[in-house]
Structure 1
Amino acid sequence: MKIIVTGSLGNISKPLTKELISKGHSVTVISSSNERQSEIEALGAKATIGSMENVDFLAETFRGADMVYAMEALNAGVFFDHTVDFIEANTQIGRNYKEAFEKSGVKKIIHLSSIGAHMSEGNGILTFHYNVEQILNELPGDVSIKFMRPVGFYYNMFSFIPTIKSQNLIIQNYGGDKKEPWVSPLDIAHTIAEEIEKPFNGREIRYIASEEISPDEIARTLGKAIGKNDLKWLTVSDEDLLNGMVNAGMNPKTAKGFVEMNAARGNGILYEDYYLHQPVLGKVKLKDFAEEFAAAYHQ
């Protein structure tokens, strides 16, 4: 199949591209960086350089493809950019995709959505995933879409490193011994590769998770990996977490979205639909990621 992969060579798109090429598919990877072109081509894929904001570029790239894997992605520094509305910027990329799909005539789409996409409010920064699902659902009925809804990514735990180093604490506005699901990008990529080769039937949703583990267990596992067996997970108020993020320079609106998302994790509403459609867990466990975490911590 001729497959378009968005997301450049990110944590999901790179392993996905490798797996699709190993299965004999023709893969074109969209990147906004000319510097990525040689690395993409070294994998055996075609590189197309352009912007998610350019609908005509997207439509031309999608035209003639058997399937498109679409994800919204902003640069890593956007959380601290006070000029960017994070939810609106991602939602606009979804609108661009819809228009480009219509212009290109693509009939099969796999969209990277998220846990929380079933909620129109109360899910913080994840609101844009709800928005984009609604936008893409406006496409004609002969367009088949598989919405992939992964849970929280292991690599988001890298954000714990500063307070571990300064206070020997993981600080969040939820915690305790109640398990919640986490996922490895490698399991997401593998699941998407599986879904690409399965039949497409209208609109479908699939949750993706690697392990269900509690905050207290996370602290023990990461602590052991970095040689800090006394590492603790500290639960603070929403206000304290928000103030800490804003004082660190984060866009206040984005920070508020993070706090609301975490509160929904703590009270369980974020996972209500997940547990109604609980997936088979993937292969990569926290102890596997902990080795990567330790390497980053000691770097």
Structure 2
Amino acid sequence: MKIIISGSLGNIGKPLTAQLVQSGHDVTVISSSADRKTAIENLGAKAAIGSVSDADFLQQTFSGADALFAMTPPNMGGQNIIKNTVAAGSAFAKAIQEADIKRVVMLSSIGADLESGTGPIAGLHQIEKLYENLDASITFLRAGYFYINFYNDIPMIKGAGIMGGNFPASLQIPLVHPEDIAWAAAEELQKAQEGKNIRYIISDVKTPSEIVKTFGAAISKPELPWVEFTDEQSFGGMTQAGLPEEMAGLYTEMGSGLRSGKISADFLNNNFSVDGKIKLEDFAKEFASKF
């Protein structure tokens, strides 16, 4: 199969590309950085250098492809983030239609079933709606809360001796490792599938109290606590750390959506399986190596 991978050689794109090349597929990786060209080719794939917001570039890249892994970049600037995210999704949708790709796996998220109140996830909801109208077989691969987001807590642990967020220690959170997303995406891209379907990819479901206990043991801080912040404290902490206000507001809203339970509700209430292989205890070793 001729398969297109967006997302460059990031935490998902690199293992996904390696798996598909190893399986004998003709793989092209889209990257906005020409510096990635050699690394992409060293994996046995072709490089397509350009912007995912450029529908003409995407259509040319998609020409003749059998399948596409569609991932909009997680950081679309410090302003108009949702608008920019949806614009990239619209460019993808236009190019998919014009290139007549028949199999698409879109990276989405828990909470993408909701129109609003989910922070940056709202952009993925709008893109799912765009893709629903395409004449292609689409899998919406809804991922959990990335384990690697907890790397952002390392300065807090080192500086204040705590971890925290604007949601309680007792909250059930579906979590995922990027390598499990890559594994699930590879499986879906090679699968014969008709119509539109949703697949959740979750590695583990844990509470913040379980997370701090596991991380604390891994970094020799067994008493590491989870502190629940107010929305105002969460927003203030992020902006003081240098995050643009719009982005901090979206992440605060996502934390509030997790706290209310609505972001995780569709997954937790409908008996979807936990497919991922990398559990919290496995990731804790990676976390400790970064600490």
- What is the SS of the residue equivalent to 1:113? strand
1:37 pairs with 2:37: yes
1:274 pairs with 2:243: no
The CA deviation at 1:134 is 0.9
The CA deviation at 1:75 is 5.0
Paired position in structure 1 for 2:120: 125
Paired position in structure 1 for 2:18: 18
Deviations 1:203-226 (A, max 9, x none): 110001001111011111111111
- 2:117–2:257 Cα contact (<8 Å) kept: yes
- What is the SS of the residue equivalent to 2:205? strand
1:114 pairs with 2:102: no
The CA deviation at 1:296 is 1.2
The CA deviation at 1:175 is 2.1
TM norm structure 2: 0.96
- 1:207–1:277 Cα contact (<8 Å) kept: no
Equivalent residue in structure 1 for 2:94, among 93, 99, 104 = 99
Cα distance in 2, alignment partners of residues 97 and 20 from structure 1:
21
Q: Give the AA of the match of 1:64.
A: G
- Tell me whether 193-202 or 203-212 shows the greater mean CA deviation: 193-202
Tell me how many residue pairs correspond in the alignment.
290
Equivalent residue in structure 2 for 1:288, among 277, 282, 285 = 282
TM norm structure 1: 0.93
Where do 4+ consecutive residues of structure 1 move more than 4 Å?
none
- 2:31–2:51 Cα contact (<8 Å) kept: yes
Cα distance in 1, alignment partners of residues 258 and 271 from structure 2:
17
- 1:4–1:29 Cα contact (<8 Å) kept: yes
Paired position in structure 1 for 2:232: 239
1:154 pairs with 2:147: yes
1:9 pairs with 2:9: yes
Cα distance in 1, alignment partners of residues 280 and 117 from structure 2:
27
Cα distance in 2, alignment partners of residues 214 and 238 from structure 1:
19
Deviations 1:108-129 (A, max 9, x none): 1111111111000111221001
1:72 pairs with 2:72: yes
Q: Give the AA of the match of 2:126.
A: N
Cα distance in 2, alignment partners of residues 255 and 230 from structure 1:
28
The CA deviation at 1:280 is 3.1
Which blocks of at least 5 consecutive residues in structure 1 are unaligned?
none
The CA deviation at 1:179 is 2.5
- 1:169–1:231 Cα contact (<8 Å) kept: yes
Cα distance in 1, alignment partners of residues 3 and 10 from structure 2:
17
The CA deviation at 1:277 is 4.9
Paired position in structure 2 for 1:190: 183
- Tell me whether 6-15 or 100-109 shows the greater mean CA deviation: 100-109
Cα distance in 1, alignment partners of residues 212 and 274 from structure 2:
24
- What is the SS of the residue equivalent to 2:138? strand
- 1:4–1:69 Cα contact (<8 Å) kept: yes
Which blocks of at least 5 consecutive residues in structure 2 are unaligned?
none
Paired position in structure 1 for 2:130: 135
Deviations 1:182-240 (A, max 9, x none): 00111111111111222221111000100111101111111111111121110011111
Percent of aligned pairs with the same amino acid: 42
Q: Give the AA of the match of 2:41.
A: E
- Cα-Cα RMSD: 1.4
Deviations 1:143-186 (A, max 9, x none): 11111000101000101111111100112111223332100111
- Tell me whether 142-151 or 249-258 shows the greater mean CA deviation: 249-258
- 2:111–2:264 Cα contact (<8 Å) kept: yes
The CA deviation at 1:268 is 1.0
